[in-house]
Amino acid sequence: MAGSPYAAALGRFKSVASAFLTKEQFAGLVNADDLTEVAKLLEPTLYGPELAAAAATYEGTARFEVAINRLFVRRNREVLEAAPFAGKPLVTAYLRRWDVENLGALLSAKAQGRSVAETESFLVSDRSIPAGLLAGTLTLDDYRLLLQQPTIEAIASQLVRFGYGAPLLPLLEAYERTHDVFPLVQALTIQYYATLLDSDRFFQGDEWVVREYLQEEIDIRNVLLLLKGKDAALPLETILPRFIPGGTLGAALLPDLYGARGVEELVQALAGRFPSLVDGVAPYKAERSLVPFDLALTRERSIRELRRLRSYPMSISVLFSQMLQSDLERADLRKIVYGKQYGIGAETLGPTLIVPSL
């Protein structure tokens, strides 16, 4: 154990494992009456000080967004600091996903004419370090300056110096015609995954575990893309440019898969590789919602991959298991916050959470 460059990281994360919220704590949060009770239940946890600090400037859901994101950023910063030399490039590339998420929020805000104040609380930042979790190149002040740019085109031009402008510039002419910001965000996403997979180099030989973890994530995105396209009756030609390369589901398979006559037939064609999709068929037929497919795929992958990552503790997997657990806690907490905000009952909200299933 002492000979592994990841031994120190393993010891460090074991010592803080108890700081994550437990299944019992999530049960209490789900059954809370409102956001006031949610805040009270979180007071004894690491979120307590963050909520108290955020209350000075923010209120309602924005207060929770800021507090949750601050702790999330800090946890991921700890992962980056714990990464040995060989693992740091891959962790850095992985954490740039929050730059992409922030830029997506920024571009959407600009397209919709929203103000800096309306958008800032949703940025994944601890308000004192780069919003991209130290791995990114954009600080919170950079985002504020970008939001102050007069047009999407001006934002894209500014992003060139941060390494995010290249995929956007060729799409600006089309954006001027359609005012559809999705292709811009998708271009950033495709660039992100290409860079990420290229950063997954072999040093110890067990990095293949993380590569499969990343490919599974790409696969889920592509499967949901196919389902959304089929549900909306979009032609294959519209779907193909939005497909993310790099997963195990190759683009060559798309014409046959997309030939399905509807969502249910497409699910049956995909069920051999993604069996949890079948769980979403009944809810889809009842509500015509694709959310159950997303929940089923994400839950199955999260449980399987977290267990697999933890089975290789003396490798870079220990860093990714920590990041995944942090991500799942953040996602579940945000579901609870918005569930309480919109009056969603515990019986509906509870089944959407992933952490209690781990």
74, 16 contact by CB (below 8 A): no
Half-sphere exposure of 299 (CA within 13 A, CB side): 21
Q: For tokens 């949750």, what's the residue? A: 68
Q: Is the pLDDT of residue 134 over 50?
A: no
What pLDDT score was predicted for residue 45? Answer: 97
Q: What is the pLDDT of residues 324-351, one digit of tens each?
A: 999 999 999 999 999 999 999 999 999 9
Token digits of residue 153: 């085109």
Mean pLDDT of 110-136: 56
Q: Is the pLDDT of residue 126 over 50?
A: no
218, 274 contact by CB (below 8 A): no
What pLDDT score was predicted for residue 358? Answer: 81
Q: Is the pLDDT of residue 315 over 80?
A: yes
d(CA 15, CA 307): 19
Helix axes 317-341, 208-231, angle to 10 degrees: 30
Mean pLDDT of 170-180: 92
Helix ranges (DSSP H) in the chain: 7-15, 23-30, 35-42, 47-54, 60-82, 88-95, 97-112, 116-120, 140-147, 152-159, 172-178, 182-199, 208-231, 236-239, 254-257, 263-270, 281-287, 291-310, 317-341, 346-349
Mean pLDDT of 292-319: 92
Nearest to 273 by CA among 237, 201, 223: 223
What pLDDT score was predicted for residue 131? Answer: 41
Q: What is the pLDDT of residues 23-36, one digit of tens each?
A: 999 999 999 999 99
pLDDT, greater one: 103 or 3: 103
Q: How confident is the model at residue 268 (pLDDT cuts 50, 70, 90)?
A: very high
* Distant-in-sequence contacts of 159-167, Cβ < 8 A, 24+ apart: 159/103, 162/137, 162/138, 163/137, 164/99, 164/103, 164/188, 164/191, 166/191, 167/191
Q: What is the pLDDT of residues 40-55, one digit of tens each?
A: 999 999 999 999 999 9
- Burial class of residue 152 in the structure, from the number of CB atoms within 10 Å of its CB (0-12 exposed, 13-18 middle, 19+ buried): buried
Q: What is the pLDDT of residues 150-170, one digit of tens each?
A: 889 999 999 988 889 999 999
What pLDDT score was predicted for residue 1? Answer: 43
Mean pLDDT of 76-85: 90
What pLDDT score was predicted for residue 146? Answer: 82
What pLDDT score was predicted for residue 115? Answer: 64
Mean pLDDT of 91-112: 86
339, 31 contact by CB (below 8 A): no
In the chain, the percentage of residues whose pLDDT exceeds 90 is 62
**Inter-CA distances, 56 with 53, 245, 253, Å:** 6, 44, 53
Q: What average pLDDT is seen over the chain? A: 88
What pLDDT score was predicted for residue 118? Answer: 60
Q: Is the pLDDT of residue 143 over 70?
A: yes
Instruction: Indicate the domain borders of the chain.
Output: 208-314
Which of 30-39, 126-135, 188-197 is predicted least confidently? 126-135
With the CA atoms of 331, 337, 341 and 343 taken in that order, what torsion angle do they form, in degrees rounded to the nearest 10? Answer: 80
**Inter-CA distances, 252 with 249, 274, 277, Å:** 9, 18, 21
Q: Is the pLDDT of residue 132 over 70?
A: no
What pLDDT score was predicted for residue 305? Answer: 93
What pLDDT score was predicted for residue 108? Answer: 85
Q: Is the pLDDT of residue 205 over 80?
A: no
What pLDDT score was predicted for residue 133? Answer: 44
The architecture in CATH of the region 208-314 reads Up-down Bundle (1.20)
What pLDDT score was predicted for residue 313? Answer: 87
What pLDDT score was predicted for residue 47? Answer: 97
